[in-house]
Structure 1
Amino acid sequence: MRTEDKMINGSSSPVVRIAVLGSYQVGKSALTVRYLTKRFIGEYRSDTDMLYKCQLQVEGSPLPVEIMDAAPPNYASSNVHMHWAEAFVIVYSVCDRESFRNAGEILETVCSQRSSAPVLLLGNKNDLHHLREVEEVEARSLALSHAARFSEVSAAESCKDVTESLDSFLREIKISRCQSSSPRQRKLSVSRMLGSLIGRHSPPPAPITELIILDKHDDRAKLMKSSRQL
């Protein structure tokens, strides 16, 4: 772990890096901003990666977090996100079967390249009942077959479900870290992951979140725009 990763905003915890992956128009950016700021914004630019830096409270302890809202489409052809992230959130729209198919391909790629990484398969837009094309049981089965966590939410309708899903996922990442540092390292079982859905909710994150827009065509290393405050 690099030294600069260990001390951010006064925290001694290593930075948690999460990549949010999925097709266009599934609501990845809306979900990320909803979680970090509690606000819903429907329109975003989708041709660049967005990197959010913040410090959240997980089980009473401060935890520095970086969330990469990754621009589609072809994650499989690039190892940038796979090597950068510690954990992955794979988003699809319950109203778009093609986005679910694409999420399945991304899930396969993540599991083959990063088999021990925590993964959350997240179905968005579950408030649009009359437009549903993907049933919950089908998506849950896909997640379980890859030992991934699963949730269905609506970024537009409910901040509560989004917060609970991602708070719980951060707790899983923290547990995974503890196990990785243990002499008896082992992967979380499906039953353990489902059990970790029940637990204390983190206090609301700080309202100020740093946003950095990264150049998609320069290996995410060149800043196209100076950071700003949401």
Structure 2
Amino acid sequence: MLLIPEDTMSQYSTNFLLLPIPEYPVLDCAPNKIIKLVVLGGSSVGKTALVVRFLTKRFIGDYEANTGALYSRKFTIDGEQISLQVQDTPFVSLEDDTDSICCQEQINRSIYWADGFVFVYSITDYESFRLLRALHQHIRRIHPNANIPLLLMANKGDLLRARQVSSKEGLQLATELGGTYSEVSARENCEGVHEAFQQLCQELSRSSSSCNGEKRRGLHLVRPKSPNMQDLKRRLKQALTSKGKSATTLGAVKYLGVKSPH
């Protein structure tokens, strides 16, 4: 795990010590476990924003169209070193006038590959919530006999006046699907995002003690040739360039190793 240097601790929350690190080849490290998460949901619900919050602690409001990116980092759970891989994905949708999921084959491969699932919806978009039950059924068809560790994340919790999905509805769906529920704001609630992801990782770590590496050996997700942390830095730089910059933001970008556009 990469820790924040003491001279920058005042800029960051002391209970969130993860910072971006270069992606590494999984075979070059020696963690006891590999945890694979896939983040799924509808269009414009904040999937990438949540992944970026978890990995870098930063929030950037605008992103390029998501084509899917795989990120890796090492950290420690219960005293054991873990290799975490997080697969961001394009959006899924319901087919016209049906309750069937329409998604790219890339997403099906990600579903087959993953150990745990993060379902994201926006509390301001009821359709993004409605498709999650069908998405769960779609996963069940791919994994008919498997346990499905699931985190249901209700994003955009800061937009309460535009709420279309109640917390009660979200909690009921999570219970129905056998998952956990967390209402967060990628914009305003960094600690809540981290805590939700960490809870799912702990669940997966504890349940995989006796079966890590035994399942789904026949299909492997093709890893990007270039480090995705570099892609993430590029996205941060692009967003900062388009929006202007503040002193605080410039300091964070400099810490990430991204050169200022000026």
Correspondence for 2:36: 17
Gaps of 5+ in 2: 1-24, 93-101, 213-219, 234-262
1:159 aligns with 2:165: no
Separation in 1, partners of 2:178, 2:134: 15
Separation in 2, partners of 1:222, 1:179: 26
Cα deviation, residue 155, structure 1: 0.7
Provide the secondary structure at the position in 1 that maps to 2:147: coil
Correspondence for 1:79: 108
Q: Give aligned-pair identity as a percent.
A: 32
Determine which of 64, 79, 86 is the counterpart of 1:45.
Answer: 64
Correspondence for 1:88: 117
Separation in 1, partners of 2:178, 2:211: 17
Separation in 2, partners of 1:176, 1:20: 20
Determine which of 125, 129, 132 is the counterpart of 1:100.
Answer: 129
Separation in 1, partners of 2:170, 2:109: 26
Correspondence for 1:170: 201
Correspondence for 2:84: 65
1:33 aligns with 2:52: yes
Q: CA RMSD in A?
A: 2.4
CA contact (8 A) 2:124 2:163 kept: yes
Separation in 1, partners of 2:41, 2:224: 23
Comparing 111-120 with 98-107, which one deviates more in the overlay? 111-120
CA contact (8 A) 1:111 1:146 kept: no
CA contact (8 A) 1:118 1:173 kept: yes
Provide the secondary structure at the position in 1 that maps to 2:208: helix
Separation in 2, partners of 1:72, 1:177: 28
Cα deviation, residue 15, structure 1: 1.7
TM-score for the superposition, normalised by structure 2: 0.65
Separation in 1, partners of 2:222, 2:209: 30
Gaps of 5+ in 1: 182-218
- The 3 A distance-change label for structure 1 pair 64 and 97 is same
CA contact (8 A) 2:112 2:142 kept: no
Cα deviation, residue 8, structure 1: 4.5
Letter of the 2:131 counterpart? N
CA contact (8 A) 2:69 2:228 kept: no
Deviations 1:48-71 (A, max 9, x none): 111111112212322111100011
Larger radius of gyration: 2
Provide the secondary structure at the position in 1 that maps to 2:168: helix
Letter of the 2:169 counterpart? E
- The 3 A distance-change label for structure 1 pair 83 and 44 is same
TM-score for the superposition, normalised by structure 1: 0.73
Provide the secondary structure at the position in 2 that maps to 1:178: coil
Matches within 5 A, 1:127-206: 127-178=158-209, 180=211
